[in-house]
Structure 1
Amino acid sequence: MNYQELADKIKVWAKELGFQKVGICDVDLKEHEAELQKWLDSGYHGSMDWMARHGMMRARPDELLPGTIRVISARMDYLPPEAQFASNLSNPNHAYISRYALGRDYHKLVRNQLKKLGQRIEAEVEQLGYRPFVDSAPILERPLAQKAGLGWSGKHSLILDKECGSWFFLGELLVDIPLPVDKPSENQCGACKACMTSCPTAAIVDEGIVDARRCISYLTIEFDGVIPEEFRKAMGNRIYGCDDCQLVCPWNRFADVTQQEDFYRRSCFQTPELVELFHWDETTFLKNMEGSPIRRIGHQQWLRNLSIALGNAPFSQQIIESLKSRKGLSELLDEHIDWAIEQQLAQVHEKNGIKIKHERLIRIVQKGLPRDA
């Protein structure tokens, strides 16, 4: 078997299946084990107990599939046309949803294409042990991607490629054949720290290290409890995920728009009014989010996230009435609704206070008195 020729074929087949880039690496991730353990010991994984449950298996792909000696790492772009980054974030009455979640859930699609790739390889070599993964097992996908030449780990911890930035999904195909490996990518972030300084909640605590407990993506997606008050104002109108660290990255100027229509913005998110989304009952939520990654957070968490966004929106009596209409569904939701109503009313009090101070200053000036009178 000419494995170099096979590797070349695999990369052609991968592109035919919708992947933009594929790389191959071995399974040795020992250099990342101490770093992973330190991250876990620091509690940066928050309530994601599954991150710690499997120990160092995440750095040992051959324990997931005995006999594995190579990992085929694949990239699929997801940046939708008309991403509307700035206009969406700057409109406080609209919901901001991470760009990866505007269309269909990527897990099944990417995994199916990886499975097809495995089947094509199997047909070529006649006997193959393989298994595809897309966030479906404890595996360090980003170090594998860097080792396979798909990009380097940026200071925000995401994989960056100089030709396309970071707007892409990753998937892995574990195989038991000795394919030639690709050259690892070299870090090209340099002195840039734009992602670190732009994080709304200062979740990037060091270069390449994210404290999930402070991350808006974690808080709105993975965390199902009471969101700490210290982060609520910073969340703004972000109701599902956060793209800020990617938005400011200079390398993302080179990102291509996805050709995969499944990742295009679905119609219900064309003009995502906060109040309208908040009025979805559970049946409507489940129907509209069919096939979406958002569906898995459930209706209560959806309303929780929207409550915070409504609290941060400009004052509106309609918002207050909408918030009150959801009271009593659960203690967790009530906690966030009460906070949101307080934020709305605080805007009225602040506005009235400024008005009173302004009127008092006018009277003082008209009377010719000192301004500190």
Structure 2
Amino acid sequence: MINNKSKYSQLIKDEAQRLGFLSCGISPSGFLEEEAPRLEKWLKNNAHGEMRYMENHFDKRLDPTKLVEGSKSVISLLLNYFPSEIQNPESYQLSKYAYGTDYHFVIKDKLKELLHTIQTEIGDVNGRAFVDSAPVLDKAWAAKSGLGWIGKHSNLLTQKVGSFYFIAELIIDLELEYDHIVSDHCGTCTACIDACPTEAITEPYVVDGSKCISYFTIELKDNIPSEVKGKFNDWMFGCDICQDVCPWNRFSKAHSEPLFNPHPELLDMTKKDWEEITQDTFSKVFQKSAVKRTKFSGLQRNINFLK
């Protein structure tokens, strides 16, 4: 007789694949014992800078049963965003994840469909979908679900496809078959640590968020401190340096999600085009993009800082 946990887990993974997810792993919902002291230390060191929201819901961050009452399983999913074409390397740079439609919308729709299938095929299952939008330690859960290991740059890494993908979760009140943790394959490599121009990776596996180019160009609302002038390597929104230099990203393959394709004008824009960008062009090129988060004024501030 087929074990129901096994049957349901396979059904979920098959549906995730049909929806275009790169991979799907499952772990038991519960307290993240190893992450608790790490998170506490990271916050105590003020490595979150002005991202004060990181201090909120400490208990919920570490225990999804406090976030989704009665939850039994955390289903972690990866969605590839590695582009087939990249920006003009001589231009100001955007993080690759921001080329197309804001991932929150794209993934949320897929997760709703996945939950609907689970409820239709299995029955009365309750749960919530999360895409980087609630106190969920997504990288920790993805690693716990066997989808990869946390690299020295603190991103999730896999041997087959590197790290250019989004992570999302479905936390549900159904017991399933759980996956095993995979081993770390960073070895003695320090490419990401050596390449970071602002020295944000303070030691292997520890990133000081308040020193990261992504933090300065997206999260920080005040003026960018003058001491980091000249250290941004032309990154105006986010930064991919630590991922670009990672040897495992040689295996990245182009995504097949049309919504992640960039606006046609984006790839060809020169530095001069960016410096002269108007509110109208910004609204047209980034109509549904994550770049809207920094607003036109924020992008202008970043570009002026790079000039």
TM-score range, shorter chain: over 0.9
1:79-90 alignment, distance < 5 Å: 79-84=82-87, 88=89
Which of 53, 57, 60 pairs up with 2:56?
53
2-structure distance, mates of 1:229, 1:123:
56
One-letter code aligned to 1:5 = K
> What's the CA shift string for 1:189-208, capped at 9, x where partnerless?
11111100100110000111
The one-letter amino acid paired with 2:39 is L
Show the counterpart of 1:11: 13
- 2:125 matched to 1:123? no
Contact 2:59 2:66 in 1 (8 A): no
Q: Which has the greater radius of gyration? A: 1
Structure 1 residue 24 displacement after superposition: 0.1
Which has the higher relative contact order, 1 or 2, with Cα contacts under 8 A spaced 6 or more apart? 2
Partner Cα distance (2:253, 2:281) in 1: 33
Q: 1:269 Cα shift? A: 1.1
Once residues 225 and 16 of structure 1 are traced to their aligned partners in structure 2, the CA distance between those partners, rounded to angstroms, is 43
Letter in 1 for 2:44: D
**1:186: how far off?**
1.3
Cα drift, residue 62 of structure 1: 1.1
Distance 2:97 2:174 in 1: 33
Match of 1:40 in 2: 43
Distance 2:82 2:284 in 1: 24
Alignment partners' CA distance in 1, 2:155 and 2:102: 19
Distance in 2, Cα, partners of 1:3 & 1:270: 46
SS of structure 1 residue aligned to 2:14: helix
- SS of the residue 2:229 aligns to: helix
**Residue deviations 1:77-125 (CA, integer Å, cap 9, x gap):** 00010225xx61xx2xx11111111111111111110111011011122
Which aligned segments of 4 or more residues in structure 1 are displaced greater than 3 angstroms?
none
The C-alpha deviation readout for 1:308-347, integer Å capped at 9, x for no partner, is: 222xxxxxxxxxxxxxxxxxxxxxxxxxxxxxxxxxxxxx
Q: Does the aligned pair in 1 maintain the 2:263–2:285 contact within 8 Å? A: no
2:224 pairs with one of 213, 227, 230: 227
| SS of structure 1 residue aligned to 2:180 | coil
Query: What TM-score, normalized to structure 2?
Result: 0.96
Q: Distance in 2 between matches of 1:95 and 1:298?
A: 16
Structure with the largest fraction of helix: 1
Within 5 Å, give how 1:1-373 maps onto structure 2: 2-28=4-30, 29-84=32-87, 88=89, 91=90, 94-310=91-307
Mapped partners of 2:158, 2:233: distance in 1: 29
C-alpha distance in structure 2 between counterparts of 1:27 and 1:127, whole Å: 18
TM-score when normalising by structure 1: 0.79
Provide the rounded CA distance (Å) in 1 between the counterparts of 2:17 and 2:304.
42
What secondary structure does 1:236 align onto?
coil
Q: Across the two proteins, how many residue pairs are aligned to each other?
A: 304
Q: What are the Cα deviations for residues 278-311 of structure 1, in whole angstroms up to 9, with x where unaligned?
A: 323334322321100001111111100110222x
Given that 1:33 and 1:56 are in contact with CA atoms closer than 8 Å, whether structure 2 keeps it comes out as no
CA contact (8 A) 1:274 1:309 kept: no
Task: Provide the C-alpha distance between the structure 2 equivalents of 1:241 and 1:187, rounded to a whole number of angstroms.
Answer: 26
Q: Quick one: which amino acid aligns to residue 23 of structure 1?
A: G
Amino acid at match of 1:35: R
Deviation at residue 38 of structure 1 after TM alignment: 0.3
SS of residue in 1 equivalent to 2:254: coil
Give the SS at the match of 2:154.
Answer: coil
Contact 2:20 2:79 in 1 (8 A): yes
Measured on the aligned residues, the alpha-carbon RMSD in Å equals 1.2
Distance 2:251 2:277 in 1: 37
Q: Percent identity?
A: 37
The 3-state SS of whatever aligns with 2:21 is: coil
Question: Is the CA contact 2:129–2:169 (under 8 Å) kept in the aligned structure 1?
Answer: yes
Contact 2:86 2:267 in 1 (8 A): no
